[in-house]
Structure 1
């Protein structure tokens, strides 16, 4: 007997010693938030107080972004980068360090980069053109001039251009003006004047034009000449949402001198201050061309084009503007767009990154929306950042991070999950999960407005729809969401990416497509590649369970062989590279694909091999070399409609069916998607980590197949914090199946290992009887919130607060429900407590001890029998949203919209009032509180039957 007890004790100690261990939670694994400094009306005492609140809530860091101010706080405004502003920044850095918080800083007040120190020479530019017809022997009578048409656009009101001075930054009261774009009526400087004859001759007439635009030139006799005059215009884009001291022109992102001059202003402001604690400088997306026209020119454009493309653009101006043959039009347009892309990469992104290094800092960059290959822009960024809701869009930033070896990919998260005051913590969790599934592992909430504790409720807010502020009732449960995110990211920031397919981005095919304007702006697949084969292919790969990353031409050219595998510049390994029905491909890219195949790789071509090179420079020579390379692909029929060409040690596969192509390339899909699960996978020493999500409306309790080898696996639930060895069973394919239980909206991390492991088993639940309703009365007590606390009462039946009188209808905050129940009869291991419907989040206590914080959409928690007594006290504290209290303010015409500039626009048109601003006057109070029914279901704990 003693020996048996000793063995049991030893087994228990061994299990404890080998208990699953969660990765450490760090500043970087916690979620961060964008911290809006409205009007920079901050003070040291409130900065310290708020930073402490953010730290208590489980945030890891803040990104300081200064924006427009609050009406009534003008005396507290601080000019961006002024000595006083820098003093506030220094205080923030000191206090953040004390509290263990990180600090990033947006490098503009608002966005994009710009400000009052941006001189006209450094401001964004556009190209305008004019044509003239001159017959042989004649001269041009009219002047070669172009008068810029005036524009004066502001946010929320009309502005009289005649009342504005030039440059814009010299105007007073720019906060009230809230200017978006300004162009003054003035003549534009001539860039070049080229004459084209109907016989194919060209003449450069630029030097023959005087300052008044008079052309001194007589056309040679015979034929007709068409003259193209290019002019440089001032785009006029102003910094959006700028705060005091940050208003002004946006920079010319294509000009290195403009970028250097812009950054030098920060060096001047930083002098005498220690800014080393700033982890990263941030750019909030391109967004120059969301005004009229586009920033498509820079003073050095003609010289840069000639140097990069190998020919003189001035010889092909008709083609640039779509007036030559279709083929020449496409080729010149492609070359122009490629040049713009390179200038944006080198003169802005890389220049900015190099400057940041002089301050020992990183750059975080939202490249989407740029008129460029955004994969290359992201690749030049230390922390690529995305936003949005489409997984293929999200994957552009994470792909660049994976391919180039960046450890972090961040995301502006939960920007507009719903209209104002309607986003639940469960909505935000789904937004976070979407980012994690897209390869993001560093979440930034959007965002948290600095709001002084003394500010009248609802405090200082930002115009985007989710308010991550202490005045939001969900703040009481926000810490649970932050803990969840930190636990998930602690896994997803570790190891290396584990995707099998490199999906080639056919940028050249996209560049050839004409549009209403010269440039294209790329924002994931939906903007720039819409309707192209890569759109359908990328969605197919997601749906079928193939892990993939996008790759650009420049990145392909850096890929190396590792046996049959592909090794990117960042050290990530892939099984194959898929070209999705591309027509055009740069010669260097095709050379790289051939080299990889010759050295043992498998390259997959969907539908066709690329047929031609893009661009016009040195065209015939490039075409000849391109065809020589293609001639080495001698395809023969293989099977299932796939053709194969043996190339050196490797092969090239060609076919229409992507799934068949990848199967023959040896790529296994993760068939767990057939169970309705979403996933992302990472590799670590000895195994893999899967992040699994159930986005369906029904629970998943199933054997889930894995495409990777494993002899053991540990399940971690980042919300409940449960962990234990998963139950595995082998399959005929040589890879295992794992048993997974996930409620709707629930996620888990599955950490596999190719070695066996021992330890405690994951606590799988098996429901053993029907639910038993808790029918005892509830004592309801409102504990925090306002505008006033409704009276305590006892409820025989659960109902919404909005049914409890006027005070309940307008209440936003938290209330506690308490009841007692007897220990249920039976031999169950415990009971599944299901709260039914909850509006919107709940904290559960049993017999005075905290049990769980439940965010939804499922509100369930397991109660072990050993935690229950003969008589038990259950307390459920529910927090609702800001909506009902805001609705009460609007109904009583209380003006809480007190912000300069955009001042709370609505996402949905039905929520816009007569003034065009957001209003809730048409709303009815939203259900709030514990709605039930609350049930207990007997359950057993243990491994499932195999």
Structure 2
């Protein structure tokens, strides 16, 4: 399947040397951006599916990821149970429509999150935890009470549900105040006694919206151990009878008895669609996974899945709840097999509150076993299951108690999310190191408060993903909505609403064309990074914590470490690096003085003040150094191995290897030569990297950021100006080259770039406005052809003044009447009250005379715009501008001496219309389960829901000043 995916992504790039015909890489469904596509209540129908998908395809989306979720009040009669025959019919129809529209489809392997759960998952397959009791017993005494543990009831339901009503669901199609009344008057079920067991036996689970549920019950006993004050241990489990009586008297000394019980963590499938509600699975049990996946096997019988690309998992998220899922049946046997000793003999060390070295080492082994199980009993078999169907998997590994680099390693498309470059590194690094062509991102989630994010904001975060190595954008997201539903239709609760009813949909295609062009480059070639930064998983897993398990997500837990410090430092200075795990390191080979991974070549490995190294990792590093590699050690060399099992033997082998390294040298660096290579130690990361002949990209000194891809005979550079300053200068490149071609993915302009050689480096002349970006293709040979167009101001700018005609084209709630405005400003300030509530597109028009003097071209600057603007001059569209800069180049031949007609079609957001609806009490918040959260606390009403009732109308329109300036 991987080979097939690579073939799909193989892009044709034609560049004829000499008189060059410069062509952009070919595009396909995967180079285009995708979007998560929520199906509320799975209440979809063929007519609206076709209409929705046609709109998505028209704006340039290449694929959709279907995620069924909770439903919409008033549409209960249209709910379709997840994976039912009727559900499979609409799913099959969706696949057919995708084929018609040249789109592809992924589907979440489940509904809502976490992955896996529902009516098929009973107590045996549900996620587990453990509880324990202790007793102190003197010599000759026993334990009189029963050895049992009663789990106490616990219930957490997501707020603002429709529950505890005789008429739980309003009649289908109910609208207006009736729904709002039911939402406001409803009360939570707070008493577990009111719920039947098992949970899926309850009616109205959509309304109950249960997030976590524990029933009152006695928990099954797992083990009883007695520990003496002089270190002896006795297994008493077999001496407990069916009634919980322990038939045992304590021998000489004082004994502490531990009884451990298996409990139910109680996590439910959160935000579940109808027919998918129920227990979340035990992610440490392959048997539980297989039971869950069998539901798909049954549903898919006879279905044509050829247009389905693959399956998706939206992060771990089991422990977004009370307590942790930290146990599975058979755990003690798994531990013994993997760690080489019996954990039952060390329960006091595992569970003690005040940690010592032995306790921390046992705790590490426990955590490592959980990590192994999540990888080997869940992630890998899920991947194999998909492969058997000829499908790929896309996975968000973060948030789990495993080494997320390893979990990312065993899937086809690692996916990240968020806004931090170092967070992106985990998914992207696994893709780079292991030769995975795609690294995806759940993009633009909660950028701002509801209805506040512009397409320019989205572009900013997309560029950040590109810099982080992501090359497959999946917007978060689009909510299916019936075509005849009252505006704003159905919305998902995350704060960027990529909906066709959103005014910015008119200009969404411009952003998508930009993303497609960028990704056509970023999905080509190979990653071109220099440094492998070792991920110190063992260090953090050897540290105490509030809970037994740590969960891994970006740099959380590493904030005050040298690992984070070094990563931040290298990122800021422009060093190109990936993160690598212990398991991934075993796939690295030495190549001369460099390093080779399955995905590409690197120059060095950095250990950032790592304390513990697994013995196989140290052995591998030593072997790589002997073969010629340079291993860099920032600050201290690792002091030993983690864990408790076979500690003395492993530590001795560790010491034997390190003792052979003889560090010597004066000053900041010390070097230990071993074989053909060396270890170099020091406390200055820049000096260390220079010693390994590794240097940053020099353009970072000019305020630019970039990422490189290696291609035959050269490189691709994606370059971004994230500063507030214009860059208009010679930019040196870190890789050798003789020439460069520049591409502007926003405008489509391309040409041979202006270059020069200075200090043995190729420099490229770059002009980038704040927020701007470009792609360079460098080559080792000189290239000729159409030159890239550069412009500089040739005179003063002239403001275009006069009476602007303002015509409201489309939007609502109604169109304000046309008006003439002598001065540009927000259309919320026009005399007509409708201007304050209007969301949509309005056209500004004016005529002007050509400025005096000759010019090669002109720069038309719109000044300030809220939010996006399409510019048309004398009938020719010059472009759509998303911001933050609103400038466009005008060919000189397009400008007439007089009567130049300028049209500027400005589109704002949903905000003003939503404010009006909120103040009018219109019923747009009508969703089960999550109905409708605010991102920021100040935007919550007395009921805890999002409200814009106190907002003022948002500035909208062409604010100017609009100027035109001659260029040369």
Q: Same fold (TM over 0.5)?
A: yes
Question: Which of 221, 229, 232 lines up with 1:190 in the alignment?
Answer: 221
1:55 aligns to what SS in structure 2? helix
5+ residue gaps, structure 1, are 1-12, 941-946
SS at match of 1:35: strand
1:15 deviates by 10
CA contact (8 A) 2:214 2:264 kept: yes
| Residue 226 of structure 2 corresponds to residue 200 of structure 1 | no
| Shift in Å, 1:822 | 1.4
CA contact (8 A) 2:740 2:778 kept: yes
Contact 2:527 2:599 in 1 (8 A): no
Q: Point out where structure 2 has 5 or more consecutive residues left out of the alignment.
A: 1-14, 161-187
Counterpart check, 1:392 vs 2:422: yes
Give the Å deviation of 1:729.
1.3
Q: TM-score, normalised by structure 2?
A: 0.94
Task: Summarize the alignment of residues 127-166 of structure 1 with structure 2, pairs less than 5 Å apart.
Answer: 127-156=130-159, 158-159=188-189, 160-166=191-197
Residue 595 of structure 1 is aligned with which of 614, 618, 623? 623
Q: Does residue 774 of the first structure (1) align with residue 774 of the second (2)?
A: no
Decide which moves more: 302-311 or 556-565.
Answer: 556-565
Please list the CA deviations of residues 541-595 of structure 1 after superposition, one character each: whole Å capped at 9, or x if unmatched: 1011101000000011111111111111x23110000001001000000000000
Residue 584 (structure 1) aligned with residue 612 (structure 2)? yes
In structure 2, distance between residues paired with 1:359 and 1:17:
48
1:125 aligned partner: 128
> Distance between the aligned counterparts of 1:413 and 1:311, measured in 2?
44
Partner of 2:393: 363
1:125-524 matches, within 5 Å, as: 125-156=128-159, 158-159=188-189, 160-220=191-251, 222-322=252-352, 326-524=356-554
Provide the secondary structure at the position in 2 that maps to 1:122.
coil
Query: Which residue number in structure 2 is paired with residue 861 of structure 1?
Result: 888
Which of 901, 910, 914 pairs up with 2:938?
Answer: 910
Q: 2:809 aligns with which of 757, 780, 783?
A: 783
Matched, 1:699 2:701: no
Q: Distance in 1 between matches of 2:697 and 2:459?
A: 24
After TM superposition, give the deviation of residue 212 of structure 1 in Å: 2.1
Q: Distance in 2 between matches of 1:538 and 1:324?
A: 32
SS of residue matched to 1:590: helix
Which residue number in structure 2 is paired with residue 922 of structure 1?
A: 950
Aligned-partner Cα distance in 1 for 2:660–2:640: 15
Q: In the aligned structure 1, how far is the partner of 2:573 from the partner of 2:847? A: 49
State the alpha-carbon separation in 2 of the partners of residues 740 and 230 from structure 1.
66
Give the distance between the partners of 1:392 and 1:128, measured in 2 at CA.
36
Q: 661, 670, 675: which is aligned to 1:633?
A: 661
Q: CA 1:46 to 1:735, structure 2 compared with 1: closer, same or farther past 3 Å?
A: same
Aligned mates of 1:115, 1:405 — CA distance in 2: 35
Deviation larger for 153-162 or 437-446: 153-162
Residue 7 of structure 2 corresponds to which residue in structure 1?
none
CA distance in 2, matches of 1:522, 1:832: 49
Instruction: Give the Å deviation of 1:98.
Output: 1.0
Judge conservation of contact 2:436–2:599 (CA < 8 Å) in 1: no
d(CA) in 1 for partners of 2:796, 2:223: 83
Distance in 2, matches of 1:530 and 1:830, equals 51
Secondary structure in structure 2 of the residue aligned to 1:832: strand
Q: SS state of the match for residue 707, structure 1? A: coil
Question: Taking structure 1 as reference, are residues 148 and 594 closer, same or farther at Cα in structure 2, changes over 3 Å only?
Answer: same
1:808 aligned residue (835, 845, 854): 835
User: Which digits, 9 at most, give the CA deviation of each residue in 1:424-443, with x for residues without a partner?
Assistant: 00000011111111110000
Partner residue, 1:545 = 574
Deviation string for 1:44-88 (max 9, x for gaps)? Answer: 111111111100010000000000101111111000000000000
In the alignment, does 2:865 pair up with 1:841?
A: no
Answer yes or no: is the 8 Å Cα contact 2:315–2:396 preserved in 1.
yes
Indicate conservation of the 8 Å contact 2:70/2:928, yes or no: yes
How much has 1:277 moved relative to structure 2? Answer: 2.0
Change (3 A) 1:631 1:921: same
Alpha carbons of structure 1 residues 15 and 395: separation in structure 2 relative to 1, 3 Å? closer
Question: Is residue 2:771 matched to residue 1:741?
Answer: no
Call closer, same or farther: CA 1:323–1:422 in 2, change over 3 Å: closer
Q: Aligned ranges for residues 26-45 of structure 1 at < 5 Å?
A: 26-45=28-47
CA distance in 2, matches of 1:245, 1:321: 39
Distance (Å, rounded) in 1 between the aligned partners of 2:815 and 2:17: 49
Query: How far apart, CA to CA, are the structure 1 residues paired with 2:475 and 2:332?
Result: 42
Q: Alignment partner for residue 737 of structure 2, among 693, 703, 710?
A: 710
Task: Output one character per residue of 1:161-200: Cα deviation in whole Å (capped at 9) or x when no partner.
Answer: 1111111111100000000000001111111111100111
SS at match of 1:510: helix
Shift of residue 530, structure 1, vs aligned partner: 2.5
Q: What's the Cα RMSD here?
A: 1.2
1:88 to 87, 90, 93: 90
| Aligned pair partner of 2:638 in 610, 621, 629 | 610
Distance 1:58 1:540 in 2: 38
- Is contact 2:633-2:682 (8 Å) kept? yes
Given that residues 534 and 606 in structure 2 are in contact (C-alpha distance below 8 angstroms), is that contact kept between their aligned partners in structure 1? yes
Deviation at 1:632, TM superposition (A): 2.0
Structure 1 segment 104-123 matched on structure 2, within 5 A: 104-112=106-114, 113-123=116-126
Matches of 1:514 and 1:276 in 2, distance apart? 48
Conservation of the 8 A alpha-carbon contact between 1:318 and 1:324: no
Aligned counterparts of 1:441 and 1:101: Cα–Cα separation in 2: 18
Aligned equivalent of 2:963, options 896, 920, 935: 935
Q: Describe the superposition over 1:2-42 as per-residue Cα deviations: whole angstroms up to 9, x where unpaired.
A: xxxxxxxxxxx999961321111211000000000000010
Q: Distance in 2 between matches of 1:391 and 1:783?
A: 40
Post-superposition shift, 1:139?
0.9
2:557 corresponds in structure 1 to: 528
> Residue 283 of structure 2 contacts residue 377 of structure 2 at CA under 8 Å; is this kept in 1?
yes
